[in-house]
Structure 1
Amino acid sequence: MIIVIRSLIFYVGMWLFTIPFTFVALCTFCLSPINRNKFISLWAKFMLKWLQVTCNLTFTVSGIENIPSSPCIIFSKHQSAWETLALQKIFPPQVWVLKRELLWLPFFGWGLAMTSPIAIDRGAGRKSLDQILTQGIDRIKKGFFVVIFPEGTRSKPLESGKYHIGGAWLATQSRLDVIPVAHNAGFYWPKNSFIKKPGEIKVIIGKSIKSKDLKSDQLNGLAKNWIEETMLKINV
């Protein structure tokens, strides 16, 4: 019962903070994309602290030394909404590849739109790759890291979905390294669950995977193998 109450307090506090913060964030349109992104990421950092206070949910990071100083492509396991918060604290200013419908959500979507995301039309088929490449290169030139959830949607713990080619295509075309990320957030913040369980989420950042001289499917396979093998170690 206490977990339910703590989870409720978390959500109440989240919305009490999110609504006014969104209106403040909308006033940052005059800032540069990077500075606007840095300001809006304060929301995620506050939510992580609030999650710790209300639900006693923390995290540790291994491999922080593998994060480069210049932009790269981040391939992250996707199990919950938690990693969309934590990656903003762990990595430098970043943009995400996401479905454009998310930008239509009240408050959350409005703030998200201000972070310069790579918003794609999933129903566009092959054209979505062009959207990822065109927008991705533009964001990289502006100094952003690019976050890809290659499975496209959240998976349950111990499950592995298909790794789509879009992120690897962007990496090979831009000749940027891929940084793989594994974590076990799904055990504590399950997919589509109201409950937030107490504990310590483990995040592991792998060494960079060079995209030079690799085909997109080869790069995708290397990233998938590292992430899924590391997931098995975390889940033991």
Structure 2
Amino acid sequence: MLVIRSLLFYLIALLTTPLYCLIGVLILPLPPQLRYRIMTQRGWTLITMWVIEHICGIKYVVEGAENIPDRPAVIYSKHQSAWETMALQFIFPPQVYIAKQELRWLPFFGWGLATISTIFIDRKAGARSKEKMVAAARNRLDNGFWIVIFPEGTRIAPGRRVKYKKGGAELARALDVPLVPVAHNAGEFWARNSWWKRPGTITVSIGRPVYPEGRDATTLTDVAETWIEDEVQRISTLPR
């Protein structure tokens, strides 16, 4: 059943992804928040999350939802799989991601990213790129979007740990908004290098906002990292 469920997931994704990416191109003239709702909460992400739950058998519970601020901030999340990139869209208010600009030109995938107001950055541009990123992020906040940051920089397998990058903390300080730490154990059910999706219930834990006042980027990163990693250990289903 595990193999059949996983293959059904990929088959449905193969059918729906090109369709919604084309829809994304057609709706580009619409306001950003409306485009976001069409593509995520009423479109591709909604369908995909339904398939994940009802076909793959992966459900989730959220702890600490009361810690979500009432104004846009930086979502500072653990990154173990592709699952959280979709699930966060239903746990938090409308949000945008920061991605390297090369992804913008990928057929279908890049079109979808552009539709949901992704912030594209040129990593080779150095300080100039950071200035543009901050300006773009401030624009998204002004339009009611939250910013998603995966401080590890890539998906990290459960049980492993890497030092968090300071870019998210630097952005939070530049925008004068808090980091909202998010821990989860999605990688224990949706492994980053596996085709198969293991049924079970993912736990997503949201911590209290970490405010930049009185903290430099290093301290801000360390505080959020410590909470996330400790919480990941608490909710993990791996053998101790």
TM-score bracket, shorter-length normalisation? over 0.9
* C-alpha contact (below 8 Å) 1:61/1:203 kept by paired residues: yes
Matched, 1:173 2:174: yes
2:218 corresponds to which residue?
A: 217
1:124 shift after superposition: 3.7
Residues 30-39 or 170-179, more deviating: 30-39
1:101 shift after superposition: 2.3
* C-alpha contact (below 8 Å) 1:133/1:169 kept by paired residues: no
CA distance in structure 1 between the partners assigned to 2:120 and 2:179 by the alignment: 20
1:110 corresponds to which residue?
A: 111
2:158 corresponds to which residue?
A: 157
Matched, 1:187 2:182: no
CA distance in structure 2 between the partners assigned to 1:48 and 1:15 by the alignment: 15
CA distance in structure 2 between the partners assigned to 1:189 and 1:128 by the alignment: 33
1:226 corresponds to which residue?
A: 227
> Secondary structure at 2:214's aligned position in 1?
coil
* C-alpha contact (below 8 Å) 1:188/1:197 kept by paired residues: yes
Q: Structure 1 residues 33, 10: closer, same or farther in 2, change over 3 A?
A: same
* C-alpha contact (below 8 Å) 1:60/1:202 kept by paired residues: yes
Residues 125-134 or 88-97, more deviating: 125-134
* C-alpha contact (below 8 Å) 1:129/1:166 kept by paired residues: no
1:108 shift after superposition: 2.0
CA distance in structure 2 between the partners assigned to 1:209 and 1:189 by the alignment: 28
Matched, 1:74 2:75: yes
* C-alpha contact (below 8 Å) 1:79/1:155 kept by paired residues: yes
CA distance in structure 2 between the partners assigned to 1:126 and 1:158 by the alignment: 34
Q: TM-score, normalised by structure 2?
A: 0.93
Q: How does 1:92-111 map to 2 (within 5 A)?
A: 92-111=93-112
Q: How does 1:43-58 map to 2 (within 5 A)?
A: 43-58=44-59
CA distance in structure 1 between the partners assigned to 2:128 and 2:2 by the alignment: 44
CA distance in structure 1 between the partners assigned to 2:16 and 2:201 by the alignment: 24
> Secondary structure at 1:230's aligned position in 2?
helix
2:26 corresponds to which residue?
A: 27
Provide structure 2 residue ranges, at least 5 long, that are not aligned to the other structure: none
> Secondary structure at 1:194's aligned position in 2?
coil
CA distance in structure 1 between the partners assigned to 2:9 and 2:198 by the alignment: 12
1:128-157 deviation line (CA, Å, top 9, x unaligned): 433331221121111110000011111010
> Secondary structure at 1:182's aligned position in 2?
strand
CA distance in structure 2 between the partners assigned to 1:104 and 1:162 by the alignment: 30
CA distance in structure 2 between the partners assigned to 1:194 and 1:212 by the alignment: 43
Residues 221-230 or 119-128, more deviating: 119-128
2:206 corresponds to which residue?
A: 205
> Secondary structure at 2:55's aligned position in 1?
helix
1:175-230 deviation line (CA, Å, top 9, x unaligned): 10110000001111111321111111110011111112211111111111111111
* C-alpha contact (below 8 Å) 1:100/1:121 kept by paired residues: yes
Provide structure 1 residue ranges, at least 5 long, that are not aligned to the other structure: none
1:86 corresponds to which residue?
A: 87
* C-alpha contact (below 8 Å) 1:71/1:145 kept by paired residues: yes
Residue identity (%):
44
* C-alpha contact (below 8 Å) 1:104/1:110 kept by paired residues: yes
2:38 corresponds to which residue?
A: 39
1:127 shift after superposition: 4.1
CA distance in structure 2 between the partners assigned to 1:128 and 1:190 by the alignment: 32
1:16-54 deviation line (CA, Å, top 9, x unaligned): 112222222222112111221121113112211111121
Cα RMSD for the two superposed structures? 1.4
1:62-112 deviation line (CA, Å, top 9, x unaligned): 111111221001100001100011001111110011222222332122111
